[in-house]
Structure 1
Amino acid sequence: MVRGPVRALLLLLAVLLAWGSAGCGGGAVARPDGAERAVRAAVSAWSAKPPAALAAVPLEGWTYEVTSVRRDGARASARAELRYRLTGYDAAPAGSARALTLSEDGAGWHVTGDRPAPGALPQLWDQSPVSVVRAEHVLVLGAAGRTRESLEEIAVVAGRAVPEVGAAWPRPWAGRLVVLVPADLDAMAALLGRPADSYRGLAAVTTGLVGVSPAPADRIVVNPQAYEGLSELGRQVVLTHESTHVATRSATTASTPLWLSEGFADWAAYRSAGRTPAEAAPALRRAVNRGELPSALPPNEAFTFGGDAQAMARAYEGAWLACRLIADRWGEAALVRLYAEAGRNPLPTALRSTLDTDLPNLTQTWQSALREELR
């Protein structure tokens, strides 16, 4: 029940809101003139068909929403938000801010250029025509210059990762992967908006918004040169690791420590690989044997790209061994619960509720395991 004074206040607010939207011009929105409407119509008509560079890509919902128009005589520029889905892979529309140029002739307005808006990242098709390879649960999009054989190999390896990840992370996830293979390291860096040196030596990375559901499928972006230099096992580990990030994305938030997210991904990747700690953690093994036992679980900043490669290797190896320890001592189901809880609550709370321990005890147990297993 709404009582008298509250009801009167609500009525007053309704009147003020209605007045504010219709009176004094404060809420007035300028309507586009005829020429601007023609520009918008031209963009709509032009965007009804995706570009030729995407002819082989399974697309749906390809639309441009014009957000602003500027005209200068027979020329115009427009800002627009591109929305699209990769059919069967994107649970929600993916997006890209675009800058369009148009010109007018006797027949009307025509789009003459389409590029990423200032500050926006390019799409793979901005760099070259795109080739497509499919495998079960996997869509691989490759840039010009990537051979079909190399794309098919990546599709097979990624396809093997899907059931491996499902076994390690038994909670719901899409079970589908989108892999982008740019032409080279520089093209990869351009797609991700960072200097090439940030990714030199990294075979793949995953893009996506943490803690968002539904969201477009994450994109696994491969660094061709680094990937091709790996062994068969190395390639499988890399793509299974990145696929694990795809699976756990909705459970990952800003509160999830990187040692847990990266360590869990490596744990899933090495889970059936048959590698011992000494074999899979050489950088950390050397440090421990020099008497440099880590004093704490790896901090978030230890996983920063472009820093000390050996320090980052030790961080990843230590994170993996921490998750391996939790799975062995408390059980794999407990590790999964810890991951989910750490995305919702502070780590001390998550440790207490899932493992009935605290961070100092976990750290000491981990240090003891390092001494024993890395000798």
Structure 2
Amino acid sequence: MAVGLLAGLLTLAGCASPGPPDSAPQEIQSLLDRHARALLARDEAAYAAALAPERAPAALEEFDRLAEVPLASWGYRLKDVERRGEDRATVRADLAYRVKGYDSGSVTTERVLDLSERDGRWYVTADRPGEDAPQQLWQQGDVEAVRGTHSLVLGVGQSEERLRAIAAAADRAVPAVSAAWTPAWAGRVVVLVPASLDAMGGLLGGPAASYRGIAAVTTGEVGGGPDAPADRVIVNPEAYGVLGDFGQQVVLTHETTHVATRTATSAATPVWLSEGFADWAAYRGTGRTAAQAAPELRRAVSAGDVPAALPDDKAFAFGGDADALARAYESGWLACELIAERWGEAKLTAFYRAVGAHPGREGAVEKALSETLGTTPEEFTAAWRAFLRDRLG
């Protein structure tokens, strides 16, 4: 009898009506959708309507900072809602935006927003980057935009003259890259110029010291196809500024090459190949000799210290020995230069694409060497070492 009564009670409990669903996620998503539409429409009043009074001054400052950025899209996708009492919530959301005329895919970054409910409506009280997410340029100051023929340069704390000079160099880089990398690509580039090295670190979500002496880096997702997150070339204003015109042009052409080759680059691509190809494209047609363009490696080879093998990925890590890093880049460049000279530029591109198309790192280079160049890793390494002695010894 007791067992039957217990079973009945359990059945009744199982049939009990659940409580009403939490409507907050849907209401917050609708709020963020309206907020995004207002930003795209440059409707300050509608944008401010989503903001709590304590959030409004800072948010409207960001609204103004974005005035010169030509946005094609801007939107939030709610990922998680954490209720904190009856009238407060913290949410994680992906912010995705595209720059008009330049981005085929979106830049996506995680945001954490605090909200409060007042009189039946939700308002944003705080908005910050997610854990480990980088800053965005407009959060660092007023953004000034300079449009080139093939480029868009967005800067904070920079003179218009400097931004125009960078745009001119980027405009020269795009056709140079298209001549070196013949597969179709967007043929345009977005360059970010923060105010300082520290600000650059903020954009990259890492310690600024790691990028000291690095003139520029390119962000992006390898092998993601045409809808992959958009690339950005981020200039270190301090290191870039001490270069001469030639060095600055090489840097921007190198970084633009990464943009062009992004969809053909994958986890199977060793860094010596991706960085070596970018340097090859940047130096192509400049008339610079190997001795001029590879001074650190030349010193080592002249002293009888010829590398035994191509550098591994760890050799390209920022923040370590600057001379060793230079030798790694120079080694990758001369490997690509060897392929272009012995097998031809078309074969170099075919080799790059074949490596990137492999399903994984293991066997990728070996297979591409065999099928594209008709050689083996051992034969190629021996040829590369002889090439170094010939050009740098």
- How far is the alpha carbon of 1:30 from its aligned partner? 7.8
SS at match of 2:266: coil
Aligned partners of 2:350 and 2:254: how far apart in 1? 19
| Uncovered stretches (5+) of structure 1, i.e. residues with no partner | 1-23
CA deviation map 1:152-207 (0-9, x unaligned): 11111011000000000000111110111111111111111221121100000001
Which residue among 199, 206, 209 is the counterpart of 2:221? 209
Q: Distance in 2 between matches of 1:202 and 1:59?
A: 29
Q: Alpha-carbon deviation of 1:88?
A: 1.2
Q: Is the 2:132–2:205 Cα contact (8 Å) retained in structure 1?
A: no
1:319 to 316, 332, 335: 332
Tell me whether 257-266 or 103-112 shows the greater mean CA deviation: 103-112
| 1:101 partnered with 2:114 | yes
1:266 is matched with 279
Q: Residue 239 of structure 2: which of 206, 209, 226 is its match?
A: 226
1:20 is matched with which residue? none
Separation (CA, whole Å) in 1 of partners of 2:325 and 2:95: 37
Aligned positions of 1:272-283 closer than 5 A: 272-283=285-296
1:53 to 42, 59, 65: 65
1:293 is matched with: 306
Equivalent position of 1:176 in the other structure:
188
Aligned pairs (5 A) from 1:1-375? 31-33=21-23, 37-50=26-39, 51-69=63-81, 70-106=83-119, 108-143=121-156, 145-214=157-226, 215-345=228-358, 346-375=364-393
CA distance, structure 2, for counterparts of residue 300 and residue 31 of structure 1:
50
Amino acid at match of 1:210: V
Query: Does the aligned pair in 2 maintain the 1:115–1:126 contact within 8 Å?
Result: no
- CA deviations on 1:105-133 (whole Å, 9 max, x unpaired) are 45843223221122322211122221111
User: What amino acid sits opposite 1:90 in the alignment?
Assistant: D
Unaligned runs of 5+ in 2: 1-13, 40-62, 359-363
Larger displacement relative to structure 2 (71-80 or 338-347): 71-80
Which TM-score applies when normalising by structure 1? 0.88
Report if aligned partners of 1:267, 1:324 keep a CA contact under 8 Å in 2.
Answer: yes
Shift of 1:36: 5.3
The AA in structure 2 aligned to 1:357 is T
Residue aligned with 2:272, SS: helix
1-structure distance, mates of 2:31, 2:148: 38
CA distance in 2, matches of 1:162, 1:249: 14
Q: Measure the CA separation in 1 of the matches of 2:91 and 2:367.
A: 50
Count matched residues: 348
Cα distance in 1 for residues equivalent to 2:19 and 2:345: 57
Distance 1:257 1:29 in 2: 55
Equivalent position SS for 2:102? coil
Q: Quickly say closer, same or farther: Cα 1:297–1:46, change in 2 above 3 A.
A: same
CA contact (8 A) 1:177 1:217 kept: no
Moved more, 306-315 or 66-75: 66-75
Following superposition, the deviation at residue 296 of structure 1 comes to: 0.9
User: Contact 1:54 / 1:125 at 8 angstroms: preserved in 2?
Assistant: yes
Q: What do the CA deviations read for 1:241-281 (whole angstroms, capped 9, x no partner)?
A: 01001111111111111111111100000001111111111
On the 8 A contact 1:204/1:242 being kept in 2, the answer is yes
Instruction: Quote how far apart the aligned CAs of 1:61 are.
Output: 2.2
C-alpha separation in 2, matches of 1:259 and 1:107: 58
How high is the TM-score relative to the length of structure 2?
0.84
Instruction: Tell me the CA shift for residue 37 of structure 1.
Output: 4.5
Q: Distance in 2 between matches of 1:30 and 1:89?
A: 45
- Aligned equivalents of 2:19 and 2:300: distance in 1? 65
Q: Secondary structure at the match of 1:98?
A: strand
Distance 2:329 2:108 in 1: 32
Alpha-carbon spacing, 1:39–1:322, altered in 2? closer, same or farther (3 Å): closer
- Separation in structure 2 between the aligned mates of residue 180 and residue 64 of structure 1, nearest angstrom: 23
Aligned with 1:167: secondary structure? helix
User: C-alpha separation between the residues in 1 aligned to 2:220 and 2:138?
Assistant: 19
Note the C-alpha offset of 1:94: 2.0
Whole-angstrom CA distance in 1 between matches of 2:154 and 2:19? 42
Q: Deviations over 1:333-366 (max 9, x none)?
A: 0101000011123111100111111111111111
Contact (CA 8 Å) 1:210, 1:252: kept in 2 or not?
yes
* Contact 1:46-1:111 at 8 Å conserved across structures: no
Deviations 1:62-84 (CA, angstroms, capped at 9, x unpaired): 11222333243444332222122
Paired residue secondary structure (2:37): coil
Q: CA deviation at 1:49?
A: 2.5
Contact 2:106 2:230 in 1 (8 A): no
